């Protein structure tokens, strides 16, 4: 017991540290304290290393996620075919229906009453102006003419007697053999009978005109297209009489008129002088040349069309009046139009649209259309010639949707899986 303090002294002298509570521990060296600048540098190094480790781990993940999203979007984007609008031709052909009409078309009525005595021409006959077509027998008119002539003879006799008496009294008046009043009476009577003669002459001329109406003459060169009477038919004069009827129908068809209703869109291009070609279904391969001679110069507010008259030479008689024909106009385009197929149109509640692709993004563009021939439409506004328009766009396509443009497959080329090229 008495040796323990001595041993502690020996250990202290040997330079060995003592543990707390007086025990002996391992030997440790005392370190100097770390300065503040070195600690900051060490902290920065740790942060930089952490950032580098984070970046090298996160960036590839972000890139992979972006690539995956792009691939997913590309796979979900609908495949579409696109085409650019085509430019319209400097001239365009306008085809419209028309009906041929004779240049002069006239029904022929009687101007006097009676019975048809004889007719000289039937349907299809070519007649000249002034040729006798038929004769009407009218006994009443003939009797009126005979009576008018007798009345004229009586008036002339009375006038001659009155003039003789007036001349006699005027001679006697010079010798004061008769009174002035008697002379004046006979002179007045002579003048009155002269007026009666003129009236009787006018009546004779009138009845002679009626007698002349018994002969029916052709008013112009043409063809008889209808004969509605026969020998013995009762004839009533005048076109306004309900019991009267047309005797003949005469047409002049050396030149034919074709009236065409041109839509308002082309009204200002169809002017007099524009050439027209006429085709007839029954004469395949044959065309007939004509031209616009006049227009109505007014748009029909009901049909929004312009009435146009086309004349065609028909001296050979190849065309018949009343025939249905197709009239072909070649019209100049002052501003060639933009043409797209009808398969590109989208009919939406907000109006007519087409889908245009820009950087694989579909944009629904409103357009205004003009001519529509059933296969293509003329776009008057809304499209540029450089636009890529989607063909047969899906009904579900929305504005701003991503699409995948594919090339049209060639004949016999099989489509790859997934709709790709």
Q: Is residue 308 part of a domain?
A: yes
- Nearest 5°: CA angle at 365, between 361 and 367? 155
d(CA 261, CA 299): 10
Co-location of 224 and 316 in the same domain:
no
User: How many domains in the chain?
Assistant: 4
Co-location of 238 and 121 in the same domain:
yes
Is residue 210 a contact partner of residue 235, using CB atoms and an 8 Å limit? Answer: no
d(CA 74, CA 68): 10
Low-confidence spans in the chain with pLDDT less than 70: 1-36, 53-62, 64-65, 68-76, 177-178, 239-244, 334-336, 410-421
What sign does the dihedral 313-319-320-324 (CA atoms) show? negative
- Please list, residue by residue across 372-387, b when 16 or more beta carbons sit within 10 angstroms of its beta carbon and e when fewer do: eeeebbbbeebbeeeb
Co-location of 224 and 127 in the same domain:
yes
Q: Is residue 8 part of a domain?
A: no
Helical spans, DSSP H, in 125-179: 139-174
Co-location of 198 and 240 in the same domain:
no
Total-model pTM: 0.56
Bridge partners for 263 per DSSP? 305
Q: Say which residues have a Cβ less than 8 Å from residue 259's Cβ, sequence separation at least 6.
A: 98, 99, 101, 307, 308, 309, 310
Which CATH number is 160's domain given?
Answer: 1.10.287.470
Which CATH number is 369's domain given?
Answer: 2.40.420.20
For position 7, what pLDDT does the model report?
43
- Of 199, 204, 200, 228, nearest in space to 133 by CA: 228
Co-location of 393 and 279 in the same domain:
no
For position 290, what pLDDT does the model report?
95
Question: Which residue range is the domain that position 402 belongs to?
Answer: 79-90+337-411
| pLDDT, tens only, 348-361 | 888 999 999 999 99
């Amino acid at each position: 017991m008495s040796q323990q303090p001595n041993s502690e002294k020996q250990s202290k002298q040997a330079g060995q540290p003592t543990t707390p509570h007086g025990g002996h521990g391992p030997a440790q060296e005392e370190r100097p304290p770390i300065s503040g600048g070195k600690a900051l540098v060490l902290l920065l190094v740790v942060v930089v290393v952490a950032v580098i480790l984070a970046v090298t781990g996160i960036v590839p993940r972000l890139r992979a996620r972006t690539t995956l999203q792009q691939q997913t979007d590309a796979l979900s984007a609908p495949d579409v075919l696109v085409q650019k609008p085509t430019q319209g031709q400097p001239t365009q052909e306008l085809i419209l229906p028309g009906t041929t009409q004779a240049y002069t078309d006239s029904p022929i009525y009687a101007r006097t009453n009676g019975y048809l005595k004889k007719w000289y021409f039937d349907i299809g006959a070519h007649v000249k102006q002034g040729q006798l077509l038929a004769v009407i027998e009218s006994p009443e008119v003939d009797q009126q003419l005979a009576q008018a002539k007798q009345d004229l003879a009586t008036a002339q006799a009375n006038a001659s007697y009155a003039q003789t008496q007036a001349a006699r009294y005027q001679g006697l008046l010079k010798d004061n053999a008769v009174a002035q009043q008697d002379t004046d009476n006979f002179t007045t009577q002579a003048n009155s009978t002269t007026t009666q003669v003129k009236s009787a002459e006018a009546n004779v001329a009138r009845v002679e005109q009626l007698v002349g109406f018994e002969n029916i003459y052709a008013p112009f060169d043409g063809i008889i297209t209808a004969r509605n009477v026969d020998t013995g038919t009762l004839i009533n004069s005048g076109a306004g009489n309900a019991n009267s009827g047309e005797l003949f129908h005469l047409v002049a068809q050396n030149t034919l008129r074709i009236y065409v209703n041109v839509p308002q869109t082309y009204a200002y291009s169809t002017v007099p002088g524009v050439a027209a070609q006429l085709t007839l279904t029954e004469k395949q391969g044959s065309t007939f040349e004509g031209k616009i001679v006049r227009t109505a110069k007014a748009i029909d507010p009901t049909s929004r069309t312009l009435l146009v008259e086309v004349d065609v030479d028909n001296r050979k008689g190849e065309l018949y009046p009343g025939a249905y024909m197709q009239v072909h106009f070649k019209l100049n385009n002052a501003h060639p139009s933009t043409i797209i197929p009808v398969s590109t149109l989208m009919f939406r509640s907000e109006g007519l649209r087409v889908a245009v692709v820009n950087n694989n993004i579909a944009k629904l563009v409103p357009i205004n259309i003009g001519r529509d021939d059933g296969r293509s439409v003329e776009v008057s506004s809304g499209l540029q010639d450089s636009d890529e328009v989607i063909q047969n766009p899906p009904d579900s396509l929305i504005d701003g949707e991503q699409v995948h443009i594919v090339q049209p497959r060639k004949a016999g080329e099989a489509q790859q899986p997934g709709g790709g090229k």
